[in-house]
């Protein structure tokens, strides 16, 4: 057996065993991947290669910086009371409108930060309480929230799986996370619309009318979303400073227009909490960068490139997408993210953003359908709901997961004919 295969087994094995021992808890993903990267370096006889271990995360730095600033902005909105006002305003006069409103309320944090953790931390509790008042079961409430968080990750502007896939497309160096807005919208909007319609019956029944304080505290969010849309759809023609600047502007406006008065300490706590909330997911992606970089250094990527030569690029991508979803059921998203980085690698610097987005769908789906460590587990832990089993919510998870995955497959197969949606 070639040395590279043994090295791959060592790296993947260390990460998998670590995840199994820690029950796939997301807080352990970064240590698991980092330990596996170190093991791959040592097993190759190269010693502790700090250069590759440190260099790998830098491929994600530019793309993840807006995600961090977005989380700080969102936490400021929540702690100032503006998020409560948004929750009240998104409750419609009909079950269908309320369903879409609550789905958007869940998805927004994931859309802006790229991570399901943000959606769960920001929006899970109010939606859960509303569904309890509507007389729904805990299982249905947890399933609805988990799907909302998943759809937020897969919708634009920011999507952690697509950021990972873009890095894979660029080989050792990253491909800029640019031009993903419309491809992500095409990928996830059908599932959002279908699931919103199907979930309308959950919001039948009476519930106390929410208190509304005024629209002024929502102006920072509205202004931010408008600028994000302009940046995503018209960025080639209108320069608005990029996402970091947009979220910083939103943050300043949120500090100036709070829904309730706060002291300097409360404001500082909100800023620090925003960093804390996003630190774990960002650290996991950085550790994945180390993992990918070491796998390039010790020859794993080279032998992979040699072995896939006889096969078509689409075939390689689809096989690794399927492997990612299957593996994700048991181990959640970290190792599937690694395989998707390799799935996109064959198209290198000629990466078609539509195809990259299609591949990224597999990582998002892996995070949704995971037995442990995925969106379902995040929601259960945040809400402290222990008497809901995976089997009770699986039916709710499957349809949006399969629809997003099917759209991903279509984009991989026909991405070359869909370049018109790359802006």
| Per-residue pLDDT reduced to its tens digit, 68-86 | 999 999 999 999 899 999 9
The answer to whether residue 399 sits within a structural domain is: yes
DSSP 105-137: HHHHHHHHHS-HHHHHHHHHHHHHHHHHHTT--
How many structural domains comprise the chain? 1
- Residues 6+ away with beta carbon under 8 Å from 275: 68, 71, 72
- Residues 6+ away with beta carbon under 8 Å from 370: 24, 328, 329, 330, 331, 332, 333, 376, 377
The answer to whether residue 232 sits within a structural domain is: yes
**Contact (Cβ atoms closer than 8 angstroms) between residue 419 and residue 354:** yes
Using the 8-state DSSP alphabet, how is residue 371 labeled? S
- Residues 6+ away with beta carbon under 8 Å from 26: 117, 280, 281, 284, 332, 373, 378
Name which of 408, 288, 270 is nearest 336 in CA terms: 288
Q: Is the pLDDT of residue 48 over 90?
A: no
Handedness of CA 320, 325, 331, 335 (dihedral sign): positive
The answer to whether residue 300 sits within a structural domain is: no
Other beta carbons within 10 angstroms of residue 190's beta carbon come to 15
Burial class, 319, CB count within 10 angstroms (exposed 0-12 / middle 13-18 / buried 19+): middle
C-alpha span between 413 and 407 (Å, rounded): 10
Q: Look at residue 173 in the predicted model and tell me its pLDDT.
A: 53
Structure tokens at 1: 């057996």
Q: Look at residue 212 in the predicted model and tell me its pLDDT.
A: 76
C-alpha span between 66 and 61 (Å, rounded): 9
C-alpha span between 371 and 218 (Å, rounded): 37
Rg of the Cα atoms in the chain: 21
C-alpha span between 105 and 207 (Å, rounded): 18
Name which of 324, 345, 333 is nearest 408 in CA terms: 324
**Reported confidence tier of residue 9, pLDDT bands at 50, 70, 90:** very high
C-alpha span between 420 and 181 (Å, rounded): 12
- Looking at every residue in the chain, the average pLDDT score rounds to 92
The model's pLDDT over 355-381, given as tens digits with 9 standing for 90+, comes to 999 999 999 999 999 999 999 999 999
Q: Is the pTM of this model over 0.75?
A: yes
Other beta carbons within 10 angstroms of residue 310's beta carbon come to 7
Which range of residues forms the domain containing residue 245? 58-278+306-421
The answer to whether residue 45 sits within a structural domain is: no
**Contact (Cβ atoms closer than 8 angstroms) between residue 346 and residue 352:** no
CA distances from 60 to 56, 108, 292, 309 (A): 8, 22, 12, 28
What is the dihedral angle through the alpha carbons of 343, 346, 350, 351, rounded to the nearest 10 degrees? 0
Whether residue 153 is preceded by a cis peptide bond, meaning omega within 30 degrees of 0, is: no
C-alpha span between 86 and 217 (Å, rounded): 9
The answer to whether residue 21 sits within a structural domain is: no
The answer to whether residue 327 sits within a structural domain is: yes
Q: Look at residue 174 in the predicted model and tell me its pLDDT.
A: 55
Mean pLDDT, to the nearest integer, of 87-109?
95
**Reported confidence tier of residue 49, pLDDT bands at 50, 70, 90:** confident
The angle at the Cα of 52, spanning 288 to 69, to the nearest 5 degrees, equals: 50
The model's pLDDT over 335-351, given as tens digits with 9 standing for 90+, comes to 999 999 999 887 765 67
Q: Look at residue 263 in the predicted model and tell me its pLDDT.
A: 83
C-alpha span between 124 and 106 (Å, rounded): 7
Q: Look at residue 347 in the predicted model and tell me its pLDDT.
A: 76
The answer to whether residue 15 sits within a structural domain is: no
Handedness of CA 211, 214, 215, 219 (dihedral sign): negative
CA distances from 44 to 5, 38, 306, 325 (A): 11, 10, 19, 29
> CB-side exposure of 80: number of CA atoms within 13 Å?
28
C-alpha span between 30 and 287 (Å, rounded): 5
Looking at per-residue pLDDT, the higher value among 92 and 222 belongs to: 222
Q: Look at residue 46 in the predicted model and tell me its pLDDT.
A: 86
C-alpha span between 287 and 372 (Å, rounded): 20
The residue count of the chain comes to 423
The answer to whether residue 26 sits within a structural domain is: no
Burial class, 255, CB count within 10 angstroms (exposed 0-12 / middle 13-18 / buried 19+): middle
């Amino acid at each position: 057996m070639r040395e590279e295969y043994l090295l791959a087994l060592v790296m993947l094995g260390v990460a998998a065993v670590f995840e199994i021992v820690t029950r796939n808890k997301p807080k352990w993903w970064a240590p698991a991947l980092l330990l596996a990267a170190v093991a791959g370096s040592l097993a190759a006889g190269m010693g502790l290669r700090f250069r590759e271990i440190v260099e790998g995360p830098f491929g994600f730095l530019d793309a993840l910086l807006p995600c961090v600033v977005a989380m700080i902005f969102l936490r400021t909105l929540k702690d100032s009371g503006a998020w409560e006002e948004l929750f009240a305003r998104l409750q419609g006069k009909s079950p269908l409108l309320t369903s879409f409103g609550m789905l958007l309320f869940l998805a927004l944090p994931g859309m802006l930060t790229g991570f399901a953790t943000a959606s769960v931390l920001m929006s899970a509790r109010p939606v859960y309480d509303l569904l309890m008042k509507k007389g729904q079961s805990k299982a249905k409430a947890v399933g609805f929230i988990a799907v909302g968080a998943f759809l937020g990750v897969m919708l634009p502007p920011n999507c952690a799986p697509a950021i990972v896939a873009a890095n894979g497309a660029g080989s050792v160096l990253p491909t800029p996370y640019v031009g993903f807005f419309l491809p992500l919208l095409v990928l996830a909007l059908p599932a959002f619309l279908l699931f919103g319609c199907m979930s309308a019956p959950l919001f039948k029944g009476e519930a106390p009318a929410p208190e509304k304080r005024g629209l002024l505290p929502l102006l920072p969010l509205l202004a931010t979303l408008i600028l994000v849309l302009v940046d995503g759809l018209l960025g080639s023609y209108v320069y608005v400073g990029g996402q970091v600047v947009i979220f910083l502007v939103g943050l300043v406006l949120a500090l100036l227009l709070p829904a309730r008065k706060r002291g300097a300490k409360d404001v500082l706590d909100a800023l620090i909490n925003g960093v804390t909330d996003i630190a774990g997911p960002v650290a996991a992606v950085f550790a994945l960068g180390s993992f990918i970089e070491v796998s390039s250094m010790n020859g794993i990527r080279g032998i992979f490139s040699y072995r896939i030569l006889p096969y078509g690029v689409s075939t390689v991508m689809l096989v690794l997408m399927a492997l990612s979803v299957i593996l994700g059921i048991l181990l959640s998203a970290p190792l599937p993210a690694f395989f998707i980085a390799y799935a996109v690698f064959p198209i290198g610097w000629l990466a078609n953003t539509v195809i990259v987005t299609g591949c990224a769908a597999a990582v998002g789906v892996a995070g949704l359908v995971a037995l442990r460590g995925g969106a379902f587990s995040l929601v259960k832990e945040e809400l402290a709901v222990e008497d809901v089993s995976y089997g009770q919510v699986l039916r709710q998870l499957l349809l949006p997961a399969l629809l997003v995955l099917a759209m991903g497959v279509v984009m991989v197969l026909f991405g070359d004919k869909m370049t018109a949606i790359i802006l």
